[in-house]
Chain A
Amino acid sequence: MIVLALYAAIFVASYLLVKSIVHRTTTDYASLKTVTFGDESAVVPDRLASFVSLLTIFLLWAAFTGSSLVPSFLHAPGPFIGTASFDYTAELSDGRRDDATVTVIVSRAGDTPEVPEVDPGDGFAKNDVDVIGAWRSGLVRVDRNDEVPEGVEETVVAVNGEPLAPGGTVQTAYGRVGMSPKGTLNFEPAKGWQMEPIWLPSPEAVAARFVDIARDGYRDSTLWEHLGFSLFRVVVGFLFGALVGIPLGYAMGLSAWFRGWFDPIVEFMRPVPPLALIPLVIIWAGIGETGKIILLFLAALWIMAIAARSGVSGVNIAKVHAAYSLGASKAQIMRHVIVPNSLPEIFTGARVAMGVCWGTVVAAELVAAEKGAGMMIMVASKFQLTDIVIMGIILIGVIGFGIDMLMRWAERILVPWKGKS
């Protein structure tokens, strides 16, 4: 909630700030429009906003993970690290009372701090020392070194002078001291606002992990092998899907019999999410490459068939009539009218199909695979290697975005007449 409120605050503040500082000096046509609310063409993305948006996400991420990439004054309060101490008051069943001090060394996970010797002090309650990891909590058995005579019960009755009963807690400057129903103390050092690395690692940890895996690989394969295998499956599955789907779509667009025959199949298979086919494909073809390529083939097939079909159906009958009147044969009409006319639709379908295939391959690898981007993050998640998971998600996003950009670029080059009729 805090993060969300902070995010909204930055959104509003940066808007007001940018608006008051940056005065648009452009005098192009769009800048002269007085009606912009409701005019879609007057709404062009403000690139400054995009920049601030990405910066905000990065800063929030860095601030709440204590990243070394941003100055420390931007950090959200971190967990308590260092030497904490609190006093406790113990009472024996014969009525005697004594105070002692507990020293707790709070260290980051993975560090092995030196445990100092402490002076046991006077009285029957002796001073204690313990080690607890940051973001963790631990039992503090204060009575284990206390000198309690036989037949006498010791109970802790107060911490730092504040009375404490079983089930209760006392806040100290270093964290929370609680008492279990059986009377044992536990200490939870202050956690601060930052995220623990196993939930959300800092940006530099993710980057370091990326460098690490790019160099050494993960699970017997290099990072490029993981990503390359995912991409290879997508490309091969998509190509097979297009190779079968486009001719099928053409046949459905050109022949009533084909249309009638395949319509029920295509219309039924289209709304079935490819992910729902994973179990069946695993049963039939196993978890190897064949199964994955069959799955992606099925994911791309229906999309490409429907795109090709609507590309053929979308041809203006006047164009076909004109071509016949100019003496073109059926084959020439196919080659010079129907195919070029359907290319824009096919490209749109190909973009959708590539997106769906990319999503499907990651999901299929999550289920079962030996190599692949999805397998990488799934295995990492089982070992709580959140940095690999986040790195994998970012890479999957970047590749998906790259595929879409590539398809758009190809579309611009190859079908410049799209949307121009």
Chain B
Amino acid sequence: MTGLVIENLSMRFDLPNGTSVQALQDVSLELAQGELLSVLGPSGCGKTTLLNIVAGFLAPTEGRITLNGHRVTGPDAERGMVFQQGALFEWMNVRENVSFGPRMRGLREKDYGANVDHLLNVVGLRDFMEKSVYELSGGMQQRVALARCLANDPDVILMDEPLGALDALTREKMQSLVLKLWKETGKTIILITHSVEEALLLGERLLVMAPRPGRIHREYRLPFADMGVSADLRQVKKHSEFAARREEILGMIWDMEEEIMGRTEVAS
């Protein structure tokens, strides 16, 4: 079985005050090689927990994850990660950051150099490769993070709200870049986001999760990511189906949020 298989994943942990939290309940999912899945949901629905389990940073209490047939037990270079921000190494310049993975595997400059330069070119940072990362803008830093992840040639790329801290214009450019990289490299991508629009634009498949306990609420297959590869993202957004889906999902999340707020009110 190739691809990423998530089977009956549950995660439950105790809090210091004696209660316990069911962060995930019976989450199952299959992702074929090259699929782009976006995950959406109100806060507390366990989407970041799910990503951390797939990355291998957390162990589930039940269920298992397999990638290309072998079980996931810890972090590994086959599953690359792009964080919201702050995960670059300030003590290295842009090129050293991007070449971090190959260097840790003991490769020499002549083995990885061409690929790193190519990736810097793809993300448009060729002229900045000698700069320190703290001299770059937020959007450029995220492009470094993308290139660093790709330089390691992982099978799966996990993105935890990678564009969440960017301004609207930069974000739109980065969305195009993510689509382009996805199409060119054929990587399996799981992208967590708070933005319904971003989830629709980038997700070939879209997972809406619900909180308390964290579970899969609804799954969609969407055509917009394929459209976005060739067309302007703003044109895609004008699509009538896009607008309809956006309203549908916004309403869904809105209801969940209201339910949480209502419960909180009763509790207090």
Contacts and interface: CB of A to CB of B under 8 A. Distances in A.
A321 B101 contact: no
B132 A325 contact: no
A91 to B, nearest CB: 93
Contacts of B80: 325-326
Nearest to A343: B91
A407 to B, nearest CB: 19
Contacts of A343: 91
Contact of A417 (B76, B84, B86, B91): B91
A417 B79 contact: no
Nearest to A337: B89
B91 A321 contact: no
Given A327-B104, A336-B100, A321 B81 contact: yes
Given A321-B57, A321-B75, A421-B90, A326 B104 contact: yes
Interface string B147-179: 011001010001000000000000000000000
Interface residues of B, dominant DSSP? loop
A322 B104 contact: no
Contacts, number: 77
A421 B89 CA distance: 9
A29 B75 CA distance: 49
B104 A328 contact: yes
Contacts of A197: none
A166 B85 CA distance: 88
B105 A421 contact: no
A416 B93 CA distance: 12
B200 interface: no
Contact of B79 (A325, A337, A416, A420): A325
Interface string B45-80: 000000000011100000000000000001111011
Contacts of B86: 316, 318-319, 421
A326 B90 contact: no
Contacts of A337: 89
Contacts of B104: 323, 326-329, 332, 336
A332 B105 CA distance: 10
B112 interface: no
B242 interface: no
A355 interface: no
A319 B101 contact: no
Nearest to A316: B86
Interface of B: 55-57, 74-77, 79-81, 83-91, 100-101, 104-105, 132, 134, 145, 148-149, 152, 154, 158
28 contacts: A316-B86, A318-B83, A318-B87, A319-B88, A321-B57, A321-B75, A321-B81, A323-B100, A323-B104, A324-B57, A325-B55, A325-B77, A325-B81, A325-B154, A326-B80, A326-B100, A327-B101, A327-B104, A327-B152, A328-B104, A336-B89, A336-B100, A340-B91, A341-B91, A417-B90, A417-B132, A421-B86, A421-B90
Which 9 residue pairs across A and B have the least CB separation, nearest first? A327-B77, A420-B134, A417-B90, A324-B75, A318-B87, A326-B101, A340-B91, A325-B81, A322-B87
